[in-house]
Amino acid sequence: MLKSILMKSIKKMKINKETLKQALEIVKPGLANKEIMEQSTSFAFIDDKVVTYNDEICISHPVPDIGIKGVIKAEEMYNFLGKVKTEEITVTQEENEIVLKSGRAQVGFSISTTVKLPLEEEIKETSEWSKIPTNLLTAISFAIPCVSKDMTNPKISCIHLNKKGIVEATDSYRIIHWKLKKKLPFNSVLIPAVSLKEVVKLAPNMVAKGNGWLHFKNEAGTQISCRTFDETFVDTSPILKIIEKGIVFVFPDKMTEVLDRAVIFSKAQLKTSGEESISVSFDKKFLKVEAQSETAWFKERVAVKGKKEFSFSITPYLLKDILKQTQECTILDNLLKFEGEDWIYISSLRLKAE
């Protein structure tokens, strides 16, 4: 009888290794770097989903028929799957342990059947799902590079999603203001740009408002929830209303190719400093692009006509996205302005090219 009881408590199942690994990769950004709360560095397998939660974002992805129920420390499990060669893995789950078998390799992980993450209290939608307005994700992508890295000041480290259909951000040196065609199906909120960066990666098509959270969902059933702030955003209207005439400058067609080379060094810079930017300057004869990492630097000049010297800093992929929509900008006394059909980007200038 004892043997019969023990056998009933053991669950054995074969799963596709790549399917599980991809699911864990999707939810991995929701893990905390260190255990800020219990289970925040773990994968939680609940109701045919794998879930991660770090108090700022929560990500869940469907894993039907996986045969795992409970909470497992993330790092060792994820790293083990990265070394597995077989297509299928045998999963055996007992009350407090899960065993993964790949060929002759076996690994056992402690598993807790008690979920202590505050998912029911925090991540519970309170509104119906609505379709995301056209260009919302594009507008957010434009806004992400324009925020401050100072997370202690939500107003300038967050992106403002205004219920009137406006997406805006500023770091006190740059402003992006995007007017969508439709109003947003939720009240105005501020969301940290680092959270929305993960939202854009998942390409959601639905949104729902929660209590202190905004939830997004894509066609694959992946859901990402972002903690929101209800503070009043910075009033950028005095800058946006500037209508003085400036000097028009047209960026050359080959600028995109130059940016592709510069981004090699700005990405290396990002890994070491957390910042990614290039310098763009003009001296009435040449447009110069510069980038620098900890161990290398890049400069390239392009001959182009213009009437006024200027210099500014920008994230290279943002400039690439802007130039896809317009190659023309306006140089004011101390500002540079790009303007599209639905958006305005303004940056402070260094008047003399360096």
Express each pLDDT in 283-329 by its tens digit. Answer: 989 999 999 888 899 999 999 988 889 999 999 999 999 999 999 99
Task: Indicate if the pLDDT at residue 271 is higher than 70.
Answer: no
Assign 201 to helix, strand or coil. Answer: helix
Q: Can you give the pLDDT at residue 295?
A: 86
The third-level CATH classification (topology) of the domain covering 130-239 is: DNA Polymerase III; Chain A, domain 2 (3.10.150)
User: 136-143 and 193-202 helices cross at what angle (nearest 10)?
Assistant: 140
Residues 269-283, mean pLDDT to the nearest whole number: 77
Distance from C-alpha of 226 to C-alpha of 3, rounded to nearest angstrom: 47
Residue 5 has pLDDT above 50, yes or no: no
**Residue 1: pLDDT band by 50, 70, 90 thresholds?**
very low
CB 130 within 8 A of CB 207: yes
Indicate if 130-239 has the same CATH topology as 2-120. yes
pLDDT for res 270 = 62
pLDDT of 273 reads: 53
The CATH code belonging to domain 242-348 is 3.10.150.10
Judged by phi (left if over 0) then psi (alpha if -120 to 50, else beta), residue 152 lies in alpha
Fold of 2-120: DNA Polymerase III; Chain A, domain 2 (3.10.150)
CA distance 288 to 167: 31
Q: Is 3 a residue whose pLDDT tops 50?
A: no
pLDDT digits (tens, 9 = 90+) for 62-119: 998 887 899 999 999 999 999 988 999 998 988 789 999 988 889 999 999 999 999 9
pLDDT at 151: 77
Query: Can you tell me whether residue 269 is helix, strand or coil?
Result: helix
% of the chain surpassing 90 pLDDT: 70
**Proportion of the chain above pLDDT 70, given as a percent:** 93
Domain ranges of the chain: 2-120, 130-239, 242-348
Neighbour tally for 268: CB within 10 Å: 18
Task: List pLDDT tens digits, range 179-195.
Answer: 999 999 999 999 999 99
**Which pLDDT value is given to residue 268?**
64
Indicate whether 243 pLDDT > 80. Answer: no
pLDDT confidence of residue 304: 94
Residues 91 and 70: their CA atoms lie apart, in Å, by 13
Going by pLDDT thresholds of 50, 70 and 90, the confidence category of residue 272 is low
Does residue 267 sit in helix, strand or coil?
Answer: helix
